[in-house]
Structure 1
């Protein structure tokens, strides 16, 4: 480990080694030498190999007035893990990134506080923008700069549910695990409800179960339930279709057959899987269980779902089958998305044991299970270090 320092007043990096060897931090930045420390400074321990310190990770968060918004707990845990392994992270918003570097925020675990900090361009950008809308506003500018300086962006974008379905459907081994899905229009709505009696309507660009509706055909009318526990009754397909057109185009939704899955204590449940890249493969980092409320619309915890352990279930999960499915998903999606470092999957199982892929999410929410939360941070840290070392090897 080598100590580098940050001058809090001058907002600049330096080192105090007497040797003549240069020390590099981030992309293309040479850390200058100082003979003595200024009055106010902060020290950081870096792993240094071939004069390169780091990795320096830029965590891209969504902007808010005079700061940022995002998963603060995740950012803190990631910084702590990186610091233990000789790295550092800076949280920045897209407007704080330029050719000159990042002007963001650094969490100091020892002091349990944040400081404003200027830093060089990072070795890696970890995309944690919180919404599709923020990506539309900001991502192109950041991507252009990252491409110019050969900076990989981990988790390059949210998944579009329709595009994702088409991508997975094109894989011969993955296609059988997918519920039948189409873009929403009046004709598809009528055909699906005649064929399946129960369907889900989902926003193509949403997360946490937001915009999810469950519809059942009782023979005379159509019952719609939402994640807000609202229940509506429609007398016709036309009226039901008009309901989804009132806030935007119908093609911003998908329609999906409702799969009858094993119940837990009379309630719908599914497995929540966390996966991380490992060389050319994807490993299953953890498996959780999410159970829906009595309204049976979604298992997402923010929408009212609850958490149980695998041991609570009265049946055994085929873990090898899950791991194989997750590996296939990760490797196939990597042909469409560069630097896909992690994803989560919602998987259901039918009474006869067949697995179904309901959702894949490019920016996983925090898992509440402590062992999965810990394993996730370790996996991410190791990924950043491995990717940084690979980029260094390519340069050398």
Structure 2
């Protein structure tokens, strides 16, 4: 019982959060989709750290037991020292068939040119992941705003159809009186009832579409709406750089760095290496237990002369870069065309909304006149119903144009990277 109460409280809390479009958009940063984007950013940061780690020294311990068919050296011995040991057999000579070795070794890359370039590549990929995270958030905001605008359109359309239904039902009252008095045929009531039934079917279809939109919004936000939220413009969309291209541009730059790093694989690298070894064994000449240790350290220059795999890697890096660059160019062209189209469409929709509002006002006046004319018998019932249809159609055009303006503005915000929480309220 307590568990059910907790779930009910949580559901109520979510509903309370959705008191405005801004609070609804705020929930997007708490959703799994945003957390997945954050994990992608963290993963790319680890990729950068992985490259940096290759420039750090590596230190390791080792131990081993060697068995040889003939005595093996426990450590390098200068010839003069060995001569003295051979003359005096009481001295245990550091050779044995069974040697236990243990020690520590290290490697430190002092200069590997390609690693520095790969580090720059990883940094660009990390930047691309951050930009993609922001772009994905704005895209989800645009979907929510567009869905709420569409929801408002459907609710307004249903309200218009309800108003039309009530209007027809009012007319039906007077028509029944005419039928009763013999001034109108019985079929007139059937025609009106048929129109009311068609309106009920249309409103039921709208309810289905509303249900789909509410589910879509809940999928993105985790909030179940029972009705749409108010939408008002708080600020205009800031034009300028096409933000949606940033992740692709960063990836293209990263591809260029990858191509450069592949070519730098032919540049000589400098590495310092060293080790310390402790060897334990019984001397092969007198069986005495010996413990010998020695260490080495050095700086090494490595110069690749021929490696076919490096040439293949260079070609692959070039193809990867060209693919990213082509994708960038293609998307840039598409978004610039889309931005111009949206700008022009929003200007046209502004005019359409003004015209649609005038049309609604005119149709309301015409319907009022038609009702009087129907009562006076100067027009037929079919002519009257056409006025009802005309008013409903005019309202539908108005609501659709207003919803489209919101959707176009949301798409434009995505292109230019505007956080919609700054734009709507």
TMscore range, shorter length: under 0.3
Please report the TM-score for the alignment, with normalisation by the length of structure 1: 0.19
Q: Which has the higher contact order (CA 8 A, sep 6+)?
A: 2
Q: TM-score, normalised by structure 2?
A: 0.18
Instruction: Give the structure with the larger strand fraction.
Output: 1
Determine which structure has the larger helix proportion and give its number: 2
Question: Between Structure 1 and Structure 2, whose CA radius of gyration is higher?
Answer: 2
